[in-house]
Amino acid sequence: MTEEVFSVGIDDTDSPKGMCTTYVMFTFINRAVKDLGARVVGMPRLVRLNPACPWKTRGNASLGVDLALKSSQLERLKEVLVDTIFDLSELSEAETNPAFVIFRRNDIDEGIRNYAREAVKRLVNPHVAAEIVKKRATYSFGFNGWRGIVGAISGAAYDFPSGYTYELIAYRTKEYRGTPRRVLPESVFLADKALDSCTFDNVDYENNEVKITPHTPCPVLLGIRGIDITCLKKALDLLEIREPVEGFIVYKTNQATDDHIIAVEKIRDIEPLTSVSFKAEISDLPWASAGGHVFVNVTDGESKIRVAAYEPTRGLRHVLLSLRPGDIVRVWGSYKPREGEPPTVNLEKIEVIKIGPYGKLMNPICPICGTRMKSEGKGKGYECPRCKFRTKDASKILELERRDLVPGIYDVPPKARRHLSRPSFLNVIKDEGKD
């Protein structure tokens, strides 16, 4: 019997209360291999979709895998997939919309791949998803509407146009879920220092936090990110884990690729609910709110928009506070309009391109005692408050501010970094041969 390759996509099986779609895919792959003798082609895919999507669950991930098996087993593959989704999905939650799609790999054309790419950058039309599965999919299923189908198509068809990284995800046994993760923090720091050339964002040194263990009651024990599969497995071996591990899987992913970013030339071209990058000039002095957030207005010469570094971005707020009118920057961030607030880009990182001189006009210094003089009124000159020296011949002087800010790219700490946002130090993988 002829063997075929089928692309399977799964999305939206979780809820804020639990489960994880990566675990659903992990379980499905294991069942397909064990029960059907299916063979995994390439690597399973973890695809992060548009982070500005207003109805996302946590990281807005969809999952995909290519499986080779006999054509006669296609119906059984569907049964295994349906059973897995119904066994594990949070179906009782109103906002959970589980979905799957199965394509013959050769039926995924450039139009479908483009649709998947767009789902990472924008809100896409779910009716187009319906047309795609109607015309091209071998099987599809969407529970509670079509939202999940968008992600399922993306998981099945995504082709990593901006490169990729890897994530090793280990899972908890059922009896431990909902309890604190038993991973020794000291071992995570040691593993990170030993393998920092090939892993990233697993520890936040600025905030002294471990970032590989989530805090939700889901099946995930830990997730290690990196650019080398062998390195990820070494990192896992270095961890001191004090609870049973059900198993682990390594996903190829678009995390840390900036694949969600849309480069625009003009502020007017920024679309709502997207993430963008653009070059601009600082137009006003930055300011801080009572909650510790920092804001600054920028302009492209025609339009203005506010840029925000919120409290969790920590050190990045100090960069914003150091900017002055006339400085040139490149901004990366998301635009999610909120009623009653001015248009604001939520900062992911910023490049300081050019720093200009900045100063303030100040009253002159007394030539007798060196004290700052006071104005006696318009056209009346100045008087020294200390020695009472008076003059009508002095005028205000420009005093330049000392500026310690240097050009360069400034990131948020891992604690505040989005899954898709690329750290400035990271070179993602673009060589497909490394799979």
Domain CATH number, residue 220: 3.90.600.20
324 belongs to a structural domain: yes
Query: Each residue of 388-398: pLDDT tens digit?
Result: 999 999 999 99
- 333 or 142, which is more confident: 333
Looking at the fold, whether 8 and 78 belong to one and the same domain comes out as yes
425 belongs to a structural domain: no
The answer, yes or no, to whether residue 78 has pLDDT greater than 50, is yes
307 belongs to a structural domain: yes
Q: Which one of 128, 159, 190 terminates a domain?
A: 159
Residue 323 has a pLDDT of: 98
Structure tokens at 344: 């604001």
State whether the Cα torsion 126-128-130-133 is positive or negative: negative
- What's the CA dihedral at 321, 326, 331, 336 to 10 degrees? 80
Query: Each residue of 259-314: pLDDT tens digit?
Result: 999 999 999 999 999 999 999 999 999 999 988 999 999 999 999 999 999 999 99
Task: Over range 396-423, report the average pLDDT.
Answer: 95
Residue 384 has a pLDDT of: 97
Looking at the fold, whether 297 and 317 belong to one and the same domain comes out as yes
Task: Over range 49-74, report the average pLDDT.
Answer: 89
Report the distance separating Cα 347 and Cα 306, nearest Å: 10
Structure tokens at 260: 């969600």
Looking at the fold, whether 193 and 326 belong to one and the same domain comes out as no
243 belongs to a structural domain: yes
Quote the Cα angle for 63-65-70, to 5°.
145
435 belongs to a structural domain: no
Residue pair 214/23 in contact by the 8 Å Cβ criterion: no
- 364 or 13, which is more confident: 364
Looking at the fold, whether 210 and 265 belong to one and the same domain comes out as no
391 belongs to a structural domain: no
Query: Each residue of 316-367: pLDDT tens digit?
Result: 999 999 999 999 999 999 999 999 999 999 999 999 999 999 998 999 999 9
The answer, yes or no, to whether residue 88 has pLDDT greater than 80, is yes
Count up the domains in the chain and report the number. Answer: 3
Looking at the fold, whether 33 and 128 belong to one and the same domain comes out as yes
113 belongs to a structural domain: yes
Report the distance separating Cα 393 and Cα 364, nearest Å: 10
Q: Which one of 142, 159, 176 terminates a domain?
A: 159
Looking at the fold, whether 308 and 285 belong to one and the same domain comes out as yes
Looking at the fold, whether 271 and 410 belong to one and the same domain comes out as yes
Which single residue is written with the structure tokens 């100045």? 382
Looking at the fold, whether 172 and 276 belong to one and the same domain comes out as no
Residue pair 170/236 in contact by the 8 Å Cβ criterion: yes
The answer, yes or no, to whether residue 18 has pLDDT greater than 80, is no
Task: Over range 371-400, report the average pLDDT.
Answer: 94
Looking at the fold, whether 38 and 117 belong to one and the same domain comes out as yes
Residue 98 has a pLDDT of: 85
Give the model's confidence band at 147: pLDDT under 50 very low, under 70 low, under 90 confident, else very high: confident
Record the pTM: 0.91
Domain CATH number, residue 108: 3.30.70.2200
Check residue 208 and give left, alpha or beta (phi > 0: left; psi -120 to 50: alpha): left
Task: Over range 170-191, report the average pLDDT.
Answer: 96
Average pLDDT, the chain: 93
Residue 143 has a pLDDT of: 78
Residue 55 has a pLDDT of: 73
Report the distance separating Cα 275 and Cα 260, nearest Å: 6
Looking at the fold, whether 248 and 309 belong to one and the same domain comes out as no
- 85 or 48, which is more confident: 48
Residue 434 has a pLDDT of: 45
Domain CATH number, residue 337: 2.40.50.1010
Task: Over range 114-121, report the average pLDDT.
Answer: 98
108 belongs to a structural domain: yes
Quote the Cα angle for 104-115-263, to 5°.
145
Q: What is the 3-state composition of the chain as percent helix, strand, coil, each rounded to the nearest 5?
A: 25, 30, 40
Which domain does 34 fall in, by range?
A: 3-159
State whether the Cα torsion 70-75-80-82 is positive or negative: positive
Give the model's confidence band at 82: pLDDT under 50 very low, under 70 low, under 90 confident, else very high: very high
The answer, yes or no, to whether residue 87 has pLDDT greater than 50, is yes
The answer, yes or no, to whether residue 116 has pLDDT greater than 60, is yes
- 82-96, 141-155, 218-232, 381-395: least confidently modelled range: 82-96
The one-letter amino acid code at 232 reads: L
The answer, yes or no, to whether residue 145 has pLDDT greater than 90, is no
Looking at the fold, whether 99 and 43 belong to one and the same domain comes out as yes
Task: Quote the DSSP letter at residue 112.
Answer: H
Q: Which one of 222, 253, 284 terminates a domain?
A: 253
Give the model's confidence band at 122: pLDDT under 50 very low, under 70 low, under 90 confident, else very high: very high
Q: Cα 303 to chain center, whole Å?
A: 26
Looking at the fold, whether 145 and 178 belong to one and the same domain comes out as no
Query: Each residue of 235-248: pLDDT tens digit?
Result: 999 999 999 999 99
Percent of the chain with pLDDT over 90: 86
Residue 107 has a pLDDT of: 97
The answer, yes or no, to whether residue 225 has pLDDT greater than 70, is yes
Beta-bridge mates of residue 209: 204
Residue 435 has a pLDDT of: 47
The answer, yes or no, to whether residue 148 has pLDDT greater than 90, is no
Q: Nearest 5°: phi and psi at 253? A: -145, 155
Using N-to-C axis directions, what is the helix angle for 229-238 and 185-194, rounded to 10°? 140
The answer, yes or no, to whether residue 53 has pLDDT greater than 80, is yes
